[in-house]
Amino acid sequence: MHRNPARPMSPHLTIWKWGPHMAVSILHRVTGVGLGVLGGALFTWWLVALASGPEAYATFVGWATWKWMLIVWVGLTWAAFQHTLSGLRHFVLDIGAGYELRTNKFWSVVVLIAALALTMLVWAFIYLRNFA
Amino acid sequence: MKTDIPGMRTSLGRVRGLGSARSGATHWWHERLTSVSTLILLVWFFVSLLRLPDFSYATVTQWLAAPLAAVPMLLLILSVFWHLAAGLRVVVEDYVHEEGGKLFWLVAINFASLFAAALSIFAVLRIAVGGAA
């Protein structure tokens, strides 16, 4: 049966398609869990290592500067930006604004792009400051 | 004598704890409140770290021992662990539907975040007042 793709689709339990607003929504939870569990654990480890003395701190720094930990740090940086920007978007939604389809889609895409851009900016800065 | 406002709830429903616990809005509000405080304190945290000449043990502990670093750090710990416990709770409530599993994870989240928060607070206090630096 022919369906005119320009016509809006009526949402139903099983009839829907992915949009940026859904991606931002689920990423908010995924990044939140990642930041909470992994970020919380690393933060606690860092503080406990500091309080336990130079040797414990050296062990922490050893692990933190291990080359594969770079993936974790870059991942946490992105997660922090994604979660923060998405959270700011939620504040706007909380006051009842930004639900118009165009506006909602626009700011969802902005959040996704800005989080990636800020992550690259931070790591470019770290790289230039330390290795260039 | 004033009892619990019965509303439309049956006695069995009340015993089983069904329906509103009348603290949903508080949880929601705390989540928002701690998101703002966490954001402000994390900006302070990263700006402070950036201003340090290096990340050696002596430099970092000396910085953290000062009142104007230790106190915001304690507030950051309270804010961050409150926020992550509140957020993880919502994720469990939304995705774990089996009652036993849900209860397990809710208890685990509260215990783990409280333990991590207590450890972190103790660590800061030890550096700031215990003379670990």
- Give the distance from residue B116's alpha carbon to the nearest chain A alpha carbon, in angstroms: 6
CATH number of A22-131: 1.20.1300.10
Given this model, what pLDDT does residue A80 score? 98
What pLDDT, in 10s, does the model give residues A102-114?
999 999 999 999 9
What pLDDT, in 10s, does the model give residues A42-53?
999 999 999 999
Given this model, what pLDDT does residue B7 score? 64
Contact across the interface for B116 and A40, Cβ inside 8 Å: yes
Query: Which pLDDT band holds residue A12 (cuts at 50, 70, 90)?
Result: confident
User: What residue numbers bound the domain in which B93 lies?
Assistant: 34-128
On whether residue B117 sits in a domain, the answer given is: yes
Reply yes or no on whether the pLDDT at B123 is more than 90. Answer: yes
Give the total number of structural domains in chain B: 1
Chain A hits for B126, Cβ within 8 Å: 51
On whether residue B6 sits in a domain, the answer given is: no
What pLDDT, in 10s, does the model give residues A65-99?
999 999 999 999 999 999 999 999 999 999 999 99
Reply yes or no on whether the pLDDT at A126 is more than 70. Answer: yes
**For residues B35 and B29, what is the distance between their CA atoms, to the nearest angstrom?**
10
What pLDDT, in 10s, does the model give residues B27-61?
899 999 999 999 999 999 999 999 999 999 999 99
B39, B22, B36, B28: which is closest to B90 by C-alpha?
Answer: B28
Query: Which pLDDT band holds residue A129 (cuts at 50, 70, 90)?
Result: confident
Chain A hits for B127, Cβ within 8 Å: 50-51
What pLDDT, in 10s, does the model give residues B60-117?
999 999 999 999 999 999 999 999 999 999 999 999 999 999 999 999 999 999 999 9
Chain B hits for A84, Cβ within 8 Å: 39
**Of B60, B80, B84, which is closest to A50 when you measure between CB atoms?**
B60
Task: Note whether B39 contacts A: Cβ–Cβ < 8 A.
Answer: yes
3-class secondary structure, B133? coil
On whether residue B7 sits in a domain, the answer given is: no
Task: Note whether B81 contacts A: Cβ–Cβ < 8 A.
Answer: yes
Chain B hits for A57, Cβ within 8 Å: 57, 60
Are B48 and B69 in contact by the 8 Å Cβ rule? The answer is yes
Domain at B48, CATH number: 1.20.1300.10
Query: Which pLDDT band holds residue B5 (cuts at 50, 70, 90)?
Result: low
Contact across the interface for B55 and A61, Cβ inside 8 Å: yes
* Consecutive H or E run containing A61: helix A54-64
Task: Note whether B84 contacts A: Cβ–Cβ < 8 A.
Answer: yes
On whether residue B17 sits in a domain, the answer given is: no
Task: Note whether B35 contacts A: Cβ–Cβ < 8 A.
Answer: yes
Give just the sign of the alpha carbon dihedral B115, B118, B120, B126. negative
Q: Where are the domains of chain A?
A: 22-131
On whether residue B114 sits in a domain, the answer given is: yes
On whether residue B8 sits in a domain, the answer given is: no
Given this model, what pLDDT does residue B1 score? 40
Nearest chain B residue (CA) to A30: B91
On whether residue B115 sits in a domain, the answer given is: yes
Read off the pTM: 0.86
On whether residue B133 sits in a domain, the answer given is: no
Contact across the interface for B61 and A29, Cβ inside 8 Å: no
- Give the distance from residue B13's alpha carbon to the nearest chain A alpha carbon, in angstroms: 29
Are B123 and A47 in contact by the 8 Å Cβ rule? The answer is yes
